[in-house]
Amino acid sequence: MKFIITILGAALLWLTTPVQAQTLPDTNITKKTFVINITKLESPNLSLAQLVDGIEHMNTYIGSYPPRFTSEAHRQDIYEKWLVLISEAEAYFAANQGAENAYYVRAELYRQGHNMDVEGSAAKAFENIDACLKAYKTSVACNFSAQYFYLSIAPVRLKEAENSLSFLRGHFKPNLEPEVEAGYVYLYLFAQDYDRAAAQINAYISAFPETRRAAEFKEILSALKSNNVKIVTDEP
């Protein structure tokens, strides 16, 4: 299922794309689906640290929806780099089956692939996140992947998203972690619990007043007060 949060009819935050859209939000880039084309490697060429660095770099462009492509050529370049990384992640997993980090790197890359409209990535993200949390319930890395991914497909896995957010909040307590606290805003919005969403936005702005999200959340808060927030859903 695909979701959009809209304010006064204009999309403020896109977590996934509506099926009917012909272009990516706020761009002239035509929507396009890609395929998972893994290159089978005998052994990984990248170390775990290099893989994680690659994932963090890719998060700049495909860590959330909409992806941040500047052109069709840029999207193609990111896709090709993603293929290299996912091939390396699969090789790393084959050499380290059952390891927490092996699940994590695949989970993150398939989550990114889902944001880039790579067919089959969502199922692979589910598979690796669920397997990681089954084996490593207190994995900070996999709980972060879980809350990002589960919120992006709300409300299919809202309960699981809340479970991961609750664990992460407890892990960082007494400190507040900005990604976790932002996650609670999205959780309440997608659950359409607007009173709690407003309260959480106020708490986030108080804790992290200078962040980019604080500015976005102020717009959402204003819209909540005037009852101008709408959750739009589409079936794929």
CA distance 76 to 164: 33
Domain count along the chain: 2
CA distance 33 to 51: 24
What pLDDT score does 231 carry? 59
Quote the tokens at residue 162.
């809340």
Q: Domain for residue 160, yes or no?
A: no
Q: Is residue 13 over pLDDT 70?
A: no
Q: Domain for residue 213, yes or no?
A: yes
Q: Domain for residue 116, yes or no?
A: yes
CA distance 39 to 36: 10
Report strand pairing: 2-7 vs 10-14: antiparallel
According to DSSP, the residues that pair with 30 across neighbouring strands are 23
209 and 235 belong to one structural domain:
yes
The pLDDT confidence band at residue 65, using thresholds 50, 70 and 90, is confident
Q: Domain for residue 28, yes or no?
A: no
Note the pTM of the prediction, 2 decimals: 0.86
Final residue of a structural domain among 152, 184, 201: 152
Listed residue (140, 186, 138) closest to 161, CA to CA: 186
91 and 117 belong to one structural domain:
yes
CA distance 81 to 71: 15
Q: Domain for residue 200, yes or no?
A: yes
CA distance 52 to 61: 15
Q: Is residue 136 over pLDDT 70?
A: yes
Q: Domain for residue 25, yes or no?
A: no
169 and 145 belong to one structural domain:
no
Q: Is residue 108 over pLDDT 50?
A: yes
For residue 157, give the 3-state DSSP assignment: coil
What pLDDT score does 166 carry? 98
For residue 28, give the 3-state DSSP assignment: coil
Q: Are 117 and 135 in contact (CB under 8 A)?
A: no
Q: What region, left, alpha or beta, does residue 12 occupy, with left being phi > 0 and alpha being psi -120 to 50 degrees?
A: alpha
The lowest-confidence range among 10-14, 97-101, 196-200 is: 10-14
77 and 147 belong to one structural domain:
yes
CA distance 157 to 16: 14
Strands (E), the chain: 2-7, 10-14, 229-234
Q: Which domain holds residue 57?
A: 34-152
The lowest-confidence range among 1-5, 102-106, 139-143, 209-213 is: 1-5
Let me know how many helices (H) and strands (E) the chain has, helices first. 9, 3
